[in-house]
């Protein structure tokens, strides 16, 4: 699948209950990158590497309403949001598979690999999950360790815990020891 590179990227800073979110959208209102302000420098490097010709600007972006709605409790607010994750074919397959995990549910890395028809690819699935540039909308926070352990989230485990609680999926999840 070939997608035209963006000409303009807008960085919107959105206050949430768990910190300021950085939402990067293109001129077609597709999400291109997401992170938190404590990871801004890494995200800026990623955006520059993947979209070197795009003009960048800051301001209120077209996706703010959906993010505000999600954090206000409208958990389906991202269902129709367009997103473009620049990655390898395998990474994009993993990110598509993440989108099959419904709000209110979690899945292990092993379960995600099986869902993809690649039951021995748990580590590769985990690496691709961790490379997700459009987190939250592509719900990598819904992936947990085997046995229900709360593991790995680029935005920090405190945010992953909050997101799972917000979505009603935290019951049965345990902190990794």
Q: pLDDT 10s per residue in the chain (177 long)?
A: 567 889 999 999 999 999 999 999 999 999 999 999 999 999 999 999 999 999 999 999 999 999 999 999 999 999 999 999 989 999 999 999 999 999 999 999 999 999 999 999 999 999 999 999 999 999 999 999 888 888 888 888 999 999 999 999 887 677 765
Active site residue 99: no
DSSP character string of 24-89: EEETTS-EEEEEEGGGHHHHHHHHHHH-TTSEEEES--TTHHHHHHHHTT-TTTTTT--B---S-H
How far is it, in rounded angstroms, from Cα 45 to Cα 130? Answer: 16
Structure tokens at 135: 């987190």
Report the pLDDT value the prediction gives residue 104, as an integer from 0 to 100: 93
Catalytic entry in 33, 112, 121, 140: 140
Report the pLDDT value the prediction gives residue 109, as an integer from 0 to 100: 92
Report the pLDDT value the prediction gives residue 176, as an integer from 0 to 100: 60
Report the pLDDT value the prediction gives residue 111, as an integer from 0 to 100: 93
Report the pLDDT value the prediction gives residue 82, as an integer from 0 to 100: 96
User: CA of 125: how far to CAs of 8, 91, 98, 112, in Å?
Assistant: 31, 8, 10, 8
Report the pLDDT value the prediction gives residue 151, as an integer from 0 to 100: 86
Cα angle at 38 between 35 and 41, to 5 degrees?
75
Report the pLDDT value the prediction gives residue 147, as an integer from 0 to 100: 83
């Amino acid at each position: 699948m070939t997608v035209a590179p963006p000409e303009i990227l807008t960085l919107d800073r959105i206050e949430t209950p768990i910190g300021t979110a950085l939402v990067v959208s293109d001129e077609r209102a597709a999400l291109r990158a997401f992170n938190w302000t404590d990871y801004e420098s890494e995200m800026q490097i990623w955006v520059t590497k993947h979209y070197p010709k795009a003009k960048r600007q800051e301001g209120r972006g077209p996706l703010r309403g959906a993010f505000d709605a999600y954090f206000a409790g409208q958990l389906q607010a991202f269902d129709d949001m367009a997103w473009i994750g620049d990655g390898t074919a395998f990474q994009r397959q993993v990110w598509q598979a993440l989108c099959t995990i419904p709000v209110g549910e979690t899945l292990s890395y092993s379960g995600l690999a099986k869902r993809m028809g690649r039951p021995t690819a748990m580590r590769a699935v985990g690496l691709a999950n961790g490379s997700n540039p459009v987190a939250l909308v592509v719900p990598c926070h819904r992936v947990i360790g085997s046995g229900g352990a709360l593991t790995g989230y680029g935005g920090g485990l405190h945010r992953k815990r909050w997101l799972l609680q917000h979505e009603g999926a935290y019951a049965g999840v345990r902190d990794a020891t």
